Amino acid sequence: MTILSKKQISAILLAIGLTSLSSCANNTGVNAPIAEANTIAQRLVSTAVAQQPNSPQFGKPIDCTLGKDCFVLLYFDRDPSLAAVDFGCGRQTYNGHDGTDFAIPDAKAMAKGVPVIASAAGKVLRVRDGVVDRRLANSTDKANVAGTECGNGMVIDHGAGWEAQYCHLRKGSVAVKPGAQVQKGAVLGMVGNSGMASFPHVHVTFRYQGKPVDPFVGPEAKLGCNIARNPIWDKPLDYISTGLIRAGFANKPPDENAVWAGQFLETKLPANSPALLFWVQSYGVLKGDREQYKLFAPNGDTIANDSKEIQAPSRTWLRYVGKRNSTNSPLTPGVWRAEYRLTRGDRVLVEVKREVELR
Ligand SMILES: [Zn+2]
């Protein structure tokens, strides 16, 4: 096969990055387990601050393994101004976000069903169902969900002054009724994309005596980040502010809507495809991070080897490299391999390897 010159290759390296999440809205793919990514979990040390002795200990509100088939995409905003900061001093939040977003890979995972579960025992106060699951893409979509921002969900009184609101459940999945007593871990419904949501996830807001509480720091913590904290979780949850959402191959440029829908995760593509593109979507990238994309032909030739510095921070980031199919330089049938690395200084934050068969 003909190997493209460096100049030709750079001509087909296409960047479509810098997508932003305007609201509680995001997700990843079943076929592309997050576990394959080498993400750095930061175990931020908790320093105990005063907390009521009879406060419940809360479990995560979703039945999945964090870092494997789900992840926290957005945290509580700890900045009282118009700026936003998460408890780890990162950017994975937005102004006024009063809860935590536990996301799943994509609409396919959502259709299969990932249970939303009660973080603690309690009594169901209010529920809503019947709101359609639709990924918000623009301001018209946002206007359409005015008044039903939480989508399908419920408020549960967890006792001792605590309540929690669970949002964006899948239409028709709400499994509890007002007045019902639920045990910790009881299934409340399924993760969805209803209301003000641009990705499949469950948003949970914890309130103590009516005031929203960041579950990673507890009710007594000071505002801001890098503070003494006493999480309300029953088990430590790692802080992972940068990671892989998913990666795959496409034969045309992928877009945000399509990848959240679970498309472009094929392991086989026709050899007469117009192009072969290797794409990666990650979250929490920062200015100065470096990403490297490599694409290898079936005979081992390096078709693309692109290293670029990220120019601006982004909460979700989608980019690809690839090769066009042409008579002069056809795509060869066989197994193509691709590698991706996201590094910050000398730390590797995400590492991905994928294969696709062209035939
Ligand atoms: Zn949220």
Q: Which of 47-56, 150-159, 312-321 has the largest mean confidence?
A: 150-159
Distance 100 CA to ligand 1 centre (A): 5
- Looking at residue 68, its pLDDT comes to 86
Of 327, 321, 333, the C-alpha closest to 278 is 321
Q: Can you read off the two tokens belonging to residue 244?
A: 């892989």
Give pLDDT tens digits for 8-49: 333 344 333 333 333 443 333 333 444 444 455 666 777 767
**DSSP secondary-structure letter at 42?**
B
Is the backbone of residue 237 left (phi > 0), alpha (psi -120 to 50) or beta? beta
Query: Looking at residues 165-173, what average pLDDT do you find?
Result: 98
- Looking at residue 10, its pLDDT comes to 34
pLDDT at 283 exceeding the cut of 80: yes
Residue ranges of domains in the chain, CATH in brackets? 6-20+242-358 (2.60.40.3880), 44-213 (2.70.70.10)
Distance 138 CA to ligand 1 centre (A): 17
Distance 133 CA to ligand 1 centre (A): 15
Distance 357 CA to ligand 1 centre (A): 38
Kindly report the number of other CB atoms within 10 A of residue 279's CB atom: 25
Is the backbone of residue 185 left (phi > 0), alpha (psi -120 to 50) or beta? left
Residue pointed to by tokens 């592309």: 32
Distance 24 CA to ligand 1 centre (A): 4
Distance 99 CA to ligand 1 centre (A): 5
Rounded to a whole number of angstroms, the CA Rg of the chain reads 22
Query: Looking at residues 319-323, what average pLDDT do you find?
Result: 93
Q: Rounded to whole angstroms, what are the CA distances from 110 to 37, 84, 189, 244, 335?
A: 21, 29, 11, 18, 30
* Average model confidence (pLDDT) across the chain: 88
Distance 112 CA to ligand 1 centre (A): 22
Query: Looking at residues 184-210, what average pLDDT do you find?
Result: 97
